[in-house]
Amino acid sequence: KAGVTQTPRYLIKTRGQQVTLSCSPISGHRSVSWYQQTPGQGLQFLFEYFSETQRNKGNFPGRFSGRQFSNSRSEMNVSTLELGDSALFLCASSRGTEAANTIYFGEGSWLTVV
């Protein structure tokens, strides 16, 4: 079956612009979470959605936002981009229905801010 799909895979933006990243979870998965990965900070949790509701949020400024649609697809948005926002953004999905909740990651979206 298809895995977690993220688009776009690579993008370059200018400081001050905004960006929207998209994530299609594995079919049947209702929980979607987002992570930012940088060489210095490792994987850092951004937020998580289940059935269109944000369930958990990491320690990121309000410029980082997300949403989930009724088909479980999710988007995240970063406004007023800063140079330090350059990172690999990862989306992960899971069923969200059982204790052994295996989480699957997408290939990520590489964002470069210049």
Partner 1 sequence: DAKTTQPPSMDCAEGRAANLPCNHSTISGNEYVYWYRQIHSQGPQYIIHGLKNNETNEMASLIITEDRKSSTLILPHATLRDTAVYYCIAPKPMNYGGSQGNLIFGKGTKLSVKP
Binding site for partner 1 (CB under 8 A): 4, 6, 31, 33, 35, 42-43, 45, 48, 50-51, 55-56, 58, 88, 90, 92, 94, 96-108, 110
Residue 55 or 73 having the CB closest to partner 1 = 55
Q: CB 91 → partner 1: shortest distance, Å? A: 8
Q: CB 16 → partner 1: shortest distance, Å? A: 27
Beta strands in the chain (DSSP E): 5-7, 10-13, 19-24, 31-38, 42-50, 53-57, 64-68, 74-78, 87-94, 104-105, 109-113
The answer to whether the beta carbons of residues 27 and 89 sit under 8 Å apart is no
